A and B are shown apart, each in its own frame.
Chain A
Amino acid sequence: MEKPKIPVDLILTKLAEDAEKAQARVQKASDVLLQELDTEIAQTPYEIVYEEDHVKLKHYQPTKPVTLKRPLLVVYALINRETMLDLQPGRSVVNIFQDHGVDLYMVDWGYPARKDKYLTIDDHVNGYMDNIVEFIRTKHQVDKINLMGICMGGTFSVIYAALHPEKIKNLVTTVTPTNFDTDQGLLHIWMKELNADRMVETFGNMPGDFMNFGFLLLNPARLMIDKYVGFMENMDNKAFVENFIRMEKWIFDSPDVPGETFRQFVKDCYQKNLLIQSKMEVGGRRVDLKNITMPMLNFYGKYDHLVPPEACEMLTRKAGSRDAQDVCLDTGHIGIYVSSKCQREFAPKIAAWLKKRDRDDKKRRPKKSAAGKVKSGKAAAKNKPTARQRQSA
């Protein structure tokens, strides 16, 4: 007998089996969902050491002896919250840094209110960030600190490093958009058509929920359908449910973005692409990327649909740093931080990179004799990293 082209009997049998499995899953899922779940995030203890308006500075004490002379300040984006860096034990960038002896500070931008609608990029960079950097410098009695920026926080960090290079020892940027003249990401296409002035006049601050909706629209098939189908397939697994809920808590915890900051970011960056051209002005001062002369480490994700590689990779070429390194990871925008595999790769790499440059600074201290100066100059030229490296992890 010829085998039928459409195995209806097999399909129906499979359907029946799947229905039985689904029924068992639902029964177990109800037990899982009704019991106490551990879904808290950002549980690593910290101390609020500085506050200014809604902005707070968190200090995480290292769990191992401090190995860096200079503390590391992490600046997160204004969109979503920095709690992503400390999702849970075992998936925490904060813990990894602590375990590598890094004295870690993190900016908590808080939840802007209507009265914050007039805060500009200048207020964030030359106001809050500069005050925080001064606080850390004074507290630790150091001339410079290490600065790490994430996404829009990385953009702010780049601006800060260009305007205050004398205060930054090393700069790390992760998934940081600096070149906005690309059609590779949907955000870059959509933002060009946005009337930022009208939006700010209408909304004041850019509502967090509004931006969340926009991010969901970037890939509705995966983010609004497939994600929840995956949840339903695994909702009998307690660990999966807890992780899922933690991510949901973080992803929909979106503060509003101050109106004037949003306006300038969209107009000067997304629409005019002034930053990468060193033409952007912040607080009346031109942001010249050539002023970024300190060592730079630039991470980005190969499959990042929000900040594609084309938006990140030009920075090291435009900056004035002669010790600049690009690292492209096989991951997306937030996978770099929430994937435990990526965390194990990139966070220790950052710590090691900072340690090397922390020590190098002591070695390269110039001697006072004229002969010594010439000698050290030649020696410095010999030891200087030659070409910018690009590697895939």
Chain B
Amino acid sequence: MSNQESGQTADTLLAAWIKSAADFWGSTLQSWSKYDTTGDGSSTGEKSRTRESFETVFNSWQTLSSVAGDPGAMGAFSNLGRAMPEVLSQMVQASWKSYFYLQQQWLEKGSRIGQSSHAFNFDNLDKETFKAWTEIYEKEFQQFFHIPQLGLTRFYQEKFNASLDKHNRFQSQFAEFMHLIFLPIEKTFKVLQQQLSDLAGEGKLPENSNDYYKLFIKILEGHYMSLFKSPEYVSTMAATLGALEDLMTARNAITQDLLKTMAVPTQDELDELYKELYQLKKRIKILEKEKSAH
């Protein structure tokens, strides 16, 4: 009972507030109409656009005011207000359900990652790590960067996503390349350690620090020669170059779009111009030679 009484009190107050606001703005509009007789100065005597907009809003407010006077309508508004928390909680529930669904998908992806890493041989963990990461990235993450985009700016968004993808690919490839580059240094220290302990056992340890350095450099040079001739290094080098080229191409595409917006000639446009110039010059030289031959 007290709830009903409080609800009725709220409805009444709301109706009274709406009515008083309508009365206030209505009197304001009337006084504006009294002083604004010239309108926008046109021969048709049209009202100013501001006043027209204001009148439109005021008419809507007046309609609301008349509705507020109807107890049934106000009751409906009150019910809406009471139903709002329930509606909101339904919306939140739906959002949570969607999130949990996505989370489940991510967990499934994670379990698939675990399955794919088991396939690799852990004897050569360093080398396999790069291979595993590349495969995981290509299977599980790369697809997000290739989701088709929508809207007017879809091409730019796709180019940006593609550049992010290429960047990630390059980073992993470069890391693998640098790992290979530093491998001879690690091996050299191990071999040097072994050789020095052998020399120490024989009592032939060099006294001069320069001799240690020369030994180190000689071993290091040998290791690099072996590495650089290996098919593994050559293929990694080629793959790293390829990844760098992909990244540069993707980055250039974005740069060119940006330059176009600033009315600056792009590299591709200049290259076309250069090609035309080159062909023109070549043609002129041939013609000059033919002319001098005659």
A binding-site residues for B, Cβ under 8 Å: 3, 5-7, 10-11, 14-15, 18, 114-115, 117-119, 123, 127, 183, 186, 189-190, 193-195, 198-199, 201-204, 217-222, 225-226, 229
In chain B, positions 259-294 with a C-beta closer than 8 Å to chain A are 267, 270-271, 274-275, 277-278, 282, 285
The 7 closest A-B pairs by CB, nearest first: A221-B221, A202-B245, A115-B274, A5-B203, A221-B220, A118-B278, A193-B238
Q: With A and B bound together, what is the CA distance between A114 and B229 in angstroms?
A: 33
Closest to A260 in B: B278
User: What A residues does B94 contact at CB under 8 A?
Assistant: none
User: What B residues does A123 contact at CB under 8 A?
Assistant: 282
The number of residue pairs between A and B whose CB atoms lie closer than 8 Å in the complex comes to: 88
User: What A residues does B267 contact at CB under 8 A?
Assistant: 114, 204
User: What A residues does B102 contact at CB under 8 A?
Assistant: none
Question: B217 contacts A222, CB within 8 Å?
Answer: yes
Question: A14 contacts B238, CB within 8 Å?
Answer: no
Question: B200 contacts A5, CB within 8 Å?
Answer: yes
Q: With A and B bound together, what is the CA distance between A271 and B213 in angstroms?
A: 39
Q: Which of B23-31, B115-123, B150-158, B204-212 contacts A (4 or more CB under 8 A)?
A: B204-212
Question: A6 contacts B205, CB within 8 Å?
Answer: yes
Chain B residues touching A, majority SS = helix
In chain B, positions 168-218 with a C-beta closer than 8 Å to chain A are 181, 200-203, 205, 207-210, 213, 217
Closest to A10 in B: B207
Question: B209 contacts A14, CB within 8 Å?
Answer: yes
Besides A7-B207, A221-B217, 20 more A-B contacts (Cβ < 8 Å) are A3-B203, A5-B201, A6-B200, A6-B205, A10-B207, A14-B208, A15-B209, A18-B208, A115-B277, A115-B278, A123-B282, A127-B285, A186-B229, A189-B228, A190-B228, A195-B241, A198-B242, A203-B248, A219-B221, A221-B221
User: What B residues does A118 contact at CB under 8 A?
Assistant: 274-275, 278
Q: With A and B bound together, what is the CA distance between A15 and B228 in angstroms?
A: 34
Question: B209 contacts A7, CB within 8 Å?
Answer: no
Q: With A and B bound together, what is the CA distance between A7 and B206 in angstroms?
A: 9
User: What B residues does A198 contact at CB under 8 A?
Assistant: 242, 245
Chain B: number of interface residues, binned into ranges: 35 or more
B56 within 8 A of A: no
Q: With A and B bound together, what is the CA distance between A225 and B217 in angstroms?
A: 8
Looking at the assembled complex, report how far the CB atom of B156 sits from the nearest CB atom of chain A, in whole angstroms.
21
B224 within 8 A of A: yes
Question: A199 contacts B220, CB within 8 Å?
Answer: no
User: What B residues does A114 contact at CB under 8 A?
Assistant: 267, 270-271, 274
Question: A18 contacts B220, CB within 8 Å?
Answer: no
In chain B, positions 25-47 with a C-beta closer than 8 Å to chain A are none
Q: With A and B bound together, what is the CA distance between A12 and B20 in angstroms?
A: 100
**Known A117-B271, A119-B278; contact A190-B234, beta-carbon cutoff 8 A:** yes
Question: A194 contacts B238, CB within 8 Å?
Answer: yes
Q: With A and B bound together, what is the CA distance between A10 and B241 in angstroms?
A: 49
Looking at the assembled complex, report how far the CB atom of A203 sits from the nearest CB atom of chain B, in whole angstroms.
8
Question: A195 contacts B242, CB within 8 Å?
Answer: yes
Q: With A and B bound together, what is the CA distance between A18 and B203 in angstroms?
A: 22
Closest to B292 in A: A134
Question: B217 contacts A199, CB within 8 Å?
Answer: no
User: What B residues does A229 contact at CB under 8 A?
Assistant: 213, 217
10 cross-chain CB contacts under 8 A: A10-B207, A14-B207, A114-B270, A117-B271, A118-B274, A127-B285, A183-B229, A189-B229, A220-B181, A229-B217
Question: B207 contacts A221, CB within 8 Å?
Answer: no
User: What A residues does B64 contact at CB under 8 A?
Assistant: none
Looking at the assembled complex, report how far the CB atom of B284 sits from the nearest CB atom of chain A, in whole angstroms.
12
Q: With A and B bound together, what is the CA distance between A126 and B199 in angstroms?
A: 62
**Known A15-B209, A225-B217; contact A189-B278, beta-carbon cutoff 8 A:** no
